[in-house]
Structure 1
Amino acid sequence: MSLSDHSRTAVVIEDDDDVRDLLHTVLTGSGYRVHTAPAGLAGVEMVRRLMPDVVTLDVGLPDIDGFEVAQRIRRFSATFIVMLTARTDPSDEKRGFEAGADRYLRKPFRPAELRRHLKEGTAAAEV
């Protein structure tokens, strides 16, 4: 049995209910146990508690922004972070990577695109 056959964990940090539900559906369908947080601080604590394989992270959160969330997560975790945001400025993408994101996807995103990034990223982590 390979590592990918075991149940993997994902944390979704997203304040928009519809996007959070979509991410939950996509990740569950990809074999993840999914936990969600509607704000940054709660998300950081959830990641600290669960130590997930994957985190999807919105940039525009109600308490602290996704850049700060990524920086805080990177202090204690090497989890695969995918930033999902409507921000299109290249400087935001640069900030995302500097904060610790492994991937940066713009909304609206295609579920297949997210699945591809997760597959690529988690496969690299297993090597």
Structure 2
Amino acid sequence: MTTDDSPHTAVVIEDDDDVRDLLHTVLTGSGFRVHTAPAGLAGVEMVRRLRPDVVTLDVGLPDIDGFEVAGRIRRFSTTLIVMLTARVDAADEKRGYEAGADRYLRKPFRPAELRRHIQEGLAAKST
């Protein structure tokens, strides 16, 4: 998924260990240098420090929710934000986009589906 010799960077903000590990594996396998945060505030600071190409963001986090995290990230970054959540309500999806998400993907998701969303999102951001 990288377009040059330097790997892209991804930040995974996810409190569930299993999902976080899966995302790390999928993104690493797609050529990303991956950093993970188990909570929202730590994730915001990681994004600020690392300036990643992609952020995957869970909605249900232990400190602040993913909507708040997306809004905070949008104050200083245009990184691709892929919101990942088990929430299926259309109002939540709308709220995700309004908060700053570029993509909204429901759990459970297929790794190929996540890779496609990231690839399309990065392509759209580069044009």
Over 6 Å off, 4+ runs: none
Counterparts of 1:78 and 1:55, CA distance in 2: 10
* Counterpart check, 1:4 vs 2:3: yes
Please, which moves more after superposition, 115-124 or 70-79? 115-124
1:75-102 superposed Cα distances (whole Å, 9 cap, x missing partner) = 0000000000000000000000000000
Counterparts of 2:32 and 2:126, CA distance in 1: 16
Long gaps (5+) in structure 2: none
The offset of 1:126, in angstroms, is 2.2
* Counterpart check, 1:114 vs 2:114: yes
Q: Residue 15 of structure 2 aligns with which residue? A: 15
Counterparts of 2:119 and 2:59, CA distance in 1: 22
The AA in structure 1 aligned to 2:11 is V
The AA in structure 1 aligned to 2:85 is T
Q: Residue 44 of structure 2 aligns with which residue? A: 44
1:25-48 superposed Cα distances (whole Å, 9 cap, x missing partner) = 000011100000000000000000
Identical counterparts, % of pairs: 84
Long gaps (5+) in structure 1: none
The offset of 1:125, in angstroms, is 1.9
The AA in structure 1 aligned to 2:59 is V
Q: Residue 54 of structure 2 aligns with which residue? A: 54
Q: Residue 67 of structure 1 aligns with which residue? A: 67
Q: Residue 86 of structure 1 aligns with which residue? A: 86
Q: Secondary structure at the match of 2:3?
A: helix
TM-score, normalization by structure 1? 0.96
Q: Residue 102 of structure 1 aligns with which residue? A: 102
